[in-house]
Amino acid sequence: MKIKVIVTLKNGVLDPQGKAIQQTLNGMGFESIKEVRQGKYFDIEVNENEETKAKSKVEDMCKKLLANLVIEDFKII
């Protein structure tokens, strides 16, 4: 079963990449772009049939490895 996870920077944490991308987009003529924040996305194939079990496993993984909770939040989608 496939579980998808999004990891984003916490509010207020500087996102230098997002900032550079936004400025580039503005420079390319996409002037209406006000902010870009970049995060990570994971497609995780778990050997598990029950969704709740799989998700709770992934949650555990997020806390232990995939997200750096000091500066990041995660969301299982």
Partner 1 sequence: MKSSVIIFPGSNCDRDMDVALKKFGFNNKMVWHNDTALPKSDLIVLPGGFSYGDYLRCGSIAGKSKIINSVIDYAKSGGLVLGICNGFQILTETGLLPGVLQQNKYLEFICKNVHVKINDTKNKYFKNIKKEILELHIAHNEGNYFCSNDELKLIEDNNQIAVTYCDKDGTCNNNSNPNGALKNIAGIFNQNKNILGMMPHPERMIDKYLSGEDGSIFFENLIGNLN
Partner 2 sequence: MEVNEKIAVDHGLKKDEFKKICSLLKRIPNITELGIFSAMWNEHCSYKSSRKHLKNLHTKGKKVIQGPGENAGVIDIGDDDAIVFKIESHNHPSFIEPYQGAATGVGGIMRDVFTMGARPIANLNSIHFGSPQHKKTKNLLRGVVKGIGGYGNCIGVPTIAGQTSFDESYNGNILVNAMTLGLVNKKKIFYSKAAGVNKPVIYVGSKTGRDGIHGASMASAIFDDKIEEKKPTVQVGDPFTEKLLLEACLELMADNSIIAIQDMGAAGLTSSSVEMASKGKLGIELDLSKVPCREEKMTPYEIMLSESQERMLIVLENGKENSAKKIFDKWNLDFAVIGRTTNTKKIEINFNNKKVADLPLDLLSENAPMYDRKWKKNKLPQKIKFKKQNFKSLKLSDCLKKLLKHPNICDKQWIWEQYDHTVMGDTIQKPGGDAGVVRVHGTEKAIAASVDSSAQYSYAHPLSGGKQVVCESWRNLISVGAEPVAITNCLNFGNPEKEENMGEFVECVQGITEASKYLDYPVVSGNVSFYNETKDKGIKPTPSIGGVGLIKNYKKMINMNLKKQGNLILVIGKTEGHLDQSTFAREILSEKKGPPPEINLFNEKNNGLTVSKLIKDNLIESCHDVSLGGVLVAASKMCIKSNKGIKINNLKNLINKFEYFFSEDQGRYLIEIKKDNLSKVKKILMDNSVHFDDLGVVNDDKFLFSDEINLSIDDLSMVYKGWLKKYMVN
Binding site for a second copy (CB under 8 A): 6-8, 18, 21, 24-25, 28, 30, 32-48, 57, 60-61, 64-66
C-alpha torsion sign, points 66, 72, 73, 77: negative
Tokens of 14: 């500087």
Question: Is 56 an interacting residue with respect to partner 1 (CB under 8 A)?
Answer: no
**Ranges within 16-55 binding partner 1 (CB under 8 A):** 16-17, 20-21, 24, 27-28, 38
User: Which residue among 12, 28, 31, 32 contacts partner 2 (CB under 8 A)?
Assistant: 12
Contact call for residues 40 and 17 (beta carbons, < 8 A): no
Task: State the nearest-atom distance from the C-beta of 35 to partner 1, in Å.
Answer: 15
Candidates 15, 24, 22; CA nearest to 36 is 22
